[in-house]
Amino acid sequence: MNAMFSRRSLLAATAASALSLTACDRKTRVTYKGIDLTGATYATDFQLTDPQGKERRLADFRGKAVLVFFGFTQCPDVCPTALARAAEVKRLLGADGERFQTLFITIDPERDTPEVLQAYTAAFDESFIGLYGDLPRTQQTANDFKVFYKKVPTGASYTMDHSSLSYVYDPQGRLRLALRHEQSPEDYAQDLRKLLQSTPT
C-alpha cells in the first residue's frame, strides 16, 4: 500500500515538475519591457458602463489585446499623453492595430459624464472606449486593479492623484503586463506585438 502510494505521488510530482519546468521555459524565453504580471489573480475582470449606456466586461474584447488606463479628463498632462501614446501604439502595430483595444476608465465619474468621455476618447482614436461606474463601483474596480487614486482639493476645485500604469491583457483575456508612463510607444508596441503573436487567436 505504502509503496503504491509513493510511486503514484512520485509520478505525479515528476509530471508536475516537468510541466512547471516547461512553463518556466516558456516564460523565460519571452521577456517584456513592461512589468510581467502573468499569473496575477487580481484585475481579472471589470463591470463598467460605456458612454452609450451598455454594460461592458473584459470578455467583450476577447480576441484582442486590451490596454486599460485609469484617468480623468481634467488631467492636462498624464492622461492625454497616455491616450496619445496608445493611439501611436495602434499605428505602430499596423494591421495588428485592429486587434488592439484601448479602454479609458475614469476615476472621476462625478465630472466625467458619458458625453465628455465619448468626446474625449474619440479625440485620440475612434476605437477607444471610455468606461465609468458610480462612485462605489469606481472604488471597487480601482481596488481590484490595485490602482491608487485620490481626490485632492486644489484652489478653486479638485484634482486627482492616480496611478499612471497601463494594464495589458492578452487576447485570451488574461492580465499580462503593466507598462509604465515613462516608457515609449515603441516599448509598448514591442510588448503588444509579442502578446499578439505568441498567443493563438
Partner 1 sequence: MQFTRLSIALAASLLAMSAQAQVTVKDAWVRATVPQQKATGAFMQIQATQDSKLISASSPLTPHVEVHEMSMQGDVMKMRQVADIALPAGKTVELKPGGYHVMLLDLKQQVKEGASVPLTLVIENKDGKRESIEVKAPVRALNTSSHAGGHKH
Name the residue type at position 16. A
Span near partner 1 by CB under 8 A; candidates 8-16, 59-67, 85-93, 98-106: 85-93
Residues with Cβ < 8 Å from 12, sequence gap 6 or more?
Answer: none
Task: Choose the binding region for partner 1 from 39-47, 56-64, 80-88, 96-104 (rule: CB under 8 A).
Answer: 80-88
Please give the residues from 106 up to 125 whose contact with partner 1 meets the rule CB under 8 A. Answer: 111, 113, 115-116, 119-120, 122-124
In the complex, the smallest distance separating the C-beta of residue 94 from partner 1, rounded to whole angstroms, is 17
Helix axes 78-92, 185-198, angle to 10 degrees: 50
76 touches partner 1 by CB under 8 A: yes
**Of 68, 74, 72, nearest in space to 101 by CA:** 68
The minimum distance between CB 3 and partner 1, in angstroms, equals 54
Binding mask 164-193 for partner 1 (x = CB under 8 A): xx--------------xxxxxxx-------
Q: According to CB under 8 A, which one of 38, 140, 159, 190 is a site residue for partner 1?
A: 159
Contacts of 169 (CB under 8 A, 6+ apart): 58, 61, 65, 66, 68, 175, 176
Backbone angles phi and psi of 136, in degrees to 5:
-60, -40
Decide: is 126 part of the binding site for partner 1 (CB under 8 A).
no
* Amino acid at position 13, single letter: A
For residues 181 and 196, give the distance between their C-alpha atoms in angstroms, rounded to a whole number.
21
Contacts with partner 1 by CB under 8 A lie at 73-78, 80-81, 83-85, 87-88, 111, 113, 115-116, 119-120, 122-124, 148, 152, 154-157, 159, 161-165, 180-186
